[in-house]
Amino acid sequence: MVQQQTALVAAQWWASSTTANLFPGTILLDGSGGALATATYVPLQPQFPVENAYKGWFVAPSGAVLPYDLPSSPALNQEYADGNLPWDLDLVSDSNGNAFAVYPVAPASSPIAVSFNLASGLLNWAYQGTPGNPMKIIDASVDGGLTAKVTDSSASDTALRIDATGQLTYSVNWNAKQIDYNFGAFWTGFDVSTGAVQYAAFDPQEATGSATRVKGNPQHNGTSDPGLVLVATQDCHKTNGAPHPLIARYPTYRLRKPDDLTQTPVKNYTVFEHIAAIHTNCGVGNYLNLSPCFYVDGSARAPYNSFEDEISTGISGGAFTNSQFFLYGVPTETRLWGVKTIYRTLQSGAFAAKRPWNEVAATPSQIPLIDGQVDPWLAPWDGQAQTCDSSYSTYFPEF
């Protein structure tokens, strides 16, 4: 309804204007009942350059409408005359009321990325790129920043991480095109000589919400991310004996709806694990021999909407510290989404977002740690080792 009203507001202004054309552009839903419609404003007799050519109308959940000029937008130049107008913006948002845009500019101009308050249009920060290199948004970051990329004349992408103040904190130049962040520290692209490629790099910690990427991404085929989260519901640990003494933990995670963490999604999703440092294919713990190419059937061993892990360490050797990431997908669909937020369950039963997430560390002769803690969430467990879930474990067979 809000999206329809937003489009109607823009259409009414367009129809009533006798001095300018208004070319409708991207409509962004904020995930909280509001929406932003954008358009390019071009006078009927323009004297180039046209200042403040990019307009926005924010429709609040109440139905109130606030029009504003999109902040720091470049002037509309003669290159975009004669119908070649840049009315579609790269536009995303996070869960904190911030919107992010990259303006299309003339070929020789410098691209501009901006962050602004979605409800008011007030500028948070602006970042200016390299002249002649177009910029595209990859995703909005959890910390109020943006992950983007610029492409040079040889189709080589440079990935950018811009922080919450508009400062560039990380860049990497890959000899590939169509670079896309999928999950964890995993990136994909296409090399003109070798074909599909993948990279391990920084983790942008994608923000929550359904509008953090521009029309999805290449892997998602333009579909909207459901934005589901994982809630840690159980965690216990035990030790076995000789001849190969091991200490293991058995945490359990459940998929939840972001607007009600007590409710599971209606669809049957499979939850996968990804550890970027060792490039595992979801074959860790209770999900032996599974990978993102294969989905569970909802059996008791691997139920839908759930992940049961096994983290083990020996008496000597085998120490590690890795970042653990999760994905989910529908068995009948050939696509995956990354989990953007993991929650731990407090002793009171309340949920708290895990920050940072999810560092898994193992030291010989010690209980493995998750985010530096032995039991970071409430364990509905009786404390008896034989009741700690070790189904299908190679090292901890059922008692």
How much is the mean pLDDT over the chain?
Answer: 78
Is residue 270 domain-shared with residue 140, that is, in the same domain? no
pLDDT at 266: 92
Region 171-196: what's the mean pLDDT?
A: 73
Q: For the purposes of burial, counting CB atoms within 10 Å of the CB of 64, is it exposed (0-12), middle (13-18) or buried (19 or more)?
A: exposed
Claim to verify: residue 157 and residue 272 sit in the same structural domain = no
Phi, psi of 219 (to 5 degrees): -65, -35
Residues 42 and 158 in one domain: yes
Flag whether 74 is in a domain.
yes
Do the domain assignments include residue 13?
yes
Residue 320 lies in a domain: yes
Same domain, 314 and 204: no
Q: Is 181 in the same domain as 63?
A: yes
Burial 128-140 (b: 16+ CB within 10 A, else e): ebeeebbbbbbbb
Please report, for residues 253, 312, 317, 364, the alpha-carbon distance to residue 320 in angstroms, rounded to integers and kept in the order given: 22, 10, 9, 9
CA distance 97 to 211: 11
Lowest mean per-residue pLDDT among 150-164, 218-232, 262-276: 218-232
With 80 as the cut, is the pLDDT of residue 344 above it?
yes
The partner residues of 59 in beta bridges, in order of sequence, read: 35, 65
Q: Is residue 395 part of a domain?
A: no
Residue 199's pLDDT band, with cuts at 50, 70 and 90, is confident
Percent of the chain whose pLDDT exceeds 70: 76
Spatial distance between the Cα atoms of 166 and 75, rounded to a whole number of angstroms: 21
| Structural domain total, the chain | 2
pLDDT of residue 284: 47
The verdict on 189 and 330 lying in the same domain is no
Give the pLDDT confidence score for residue 95 in this predicted structure.
Answer: 79
302 pLDDT band, cuts 50/70/90, is: confident
First-to-last C-alpha distance (Å) of the chain:
56
Query: In the listed set 187, 220, 253, which residue is the last one of a domain according to the structure?
Result: 220
Residue 103 has pLDDT above 80, yes or no: yes
**CATH number assigned to the domain comprising residue 112:** 2.40.128.630
**Are 72 and 113 in a shared domain?**
yes
DSSP string, 157-188: EEEEEE-TTS-EEEEEEES-EEEEEEETTEEE
Of 392 and 128, the one with more pLDDT = 128
Contact 200, 186 (CB under 8 A): yes
- The whole-angstrom distance between residue 1's C-alpha and the CA centroid of its chain comes to 26
Average pLDDT over residues 120-134: 91
pLDDT of residue 374: 83
Binning pLDDT at 50, 70 and 90, where does residue 173 land? confident
213 and 224 Cβ atoms separated by less than 8 Å: no
Is the CB of residue 177 less than 8 Å from the CB of residue 156? yes
Q: What is the mean pLDDT of residues 183-187?
A: 68
What per-residue confidence (pLDDT) applies to 389? 73
Give pTM, 2 decimals: 0.69
Q: Is 123 or 194 the better-scoring residue by pLDDT?
A: 123
CA Rg value for the chain: 24
Check residues 315 and 191 and name the one with the higher pLDDT: 191
Which of residues 201, 220, 239 is at a domain's end? 220
Pick from 158-172, 293-307, 373-387 the range whose average pLDDT is largest: 158-172
In a domain, 268, yes or no: yes
- Whether residues 206 and 112 fall in one domain: yes
Pair of tokens at residue 290: 């599974």
Question: Residues 190, 323: one domain?
Answer: no
Find the mean pLDDT for residues 213-226: 67
Instruction: Find the domain containing 212 and state its range.
Output: 2-220
Residue where a domain terminates, one of 186, 202, 220: 220
Angle at Cα 361 formed by Cα 202 and Cα 320, nearest 5°?
80
The confidence score (pLDDT) of residue 399 equals: 45
Tell me if 394 is assigned to some domain. no
Q: Are residues 364 and 239 in the same domain?
A: yes
38 is a domain residue: yes
Lowest pLDDT segment from 67-76, 127-136, 285-294: 285-294
148 contacts 138 by C-beta, under 8 angstroms: yes
C-alpha–C-alpha distance, residues 287 and 398, integer Å? 16
Write down the residue that tokens 């910390």 correspond to: 143
The more confident residue out of 397 and 156 is: 156
Whether residues 90 and 204 share a domain: the answer is yes
Is 392 domain-assigned? Answer: no
Shared-domain flag, residues 170 and 236: no
Q: How many DSSP H helices and E strands does the chain contain?
A: 1, 28
Phi, psi of 158 (to 5 degrees): -115, 115
Amino acid 324: pLDDT: 83
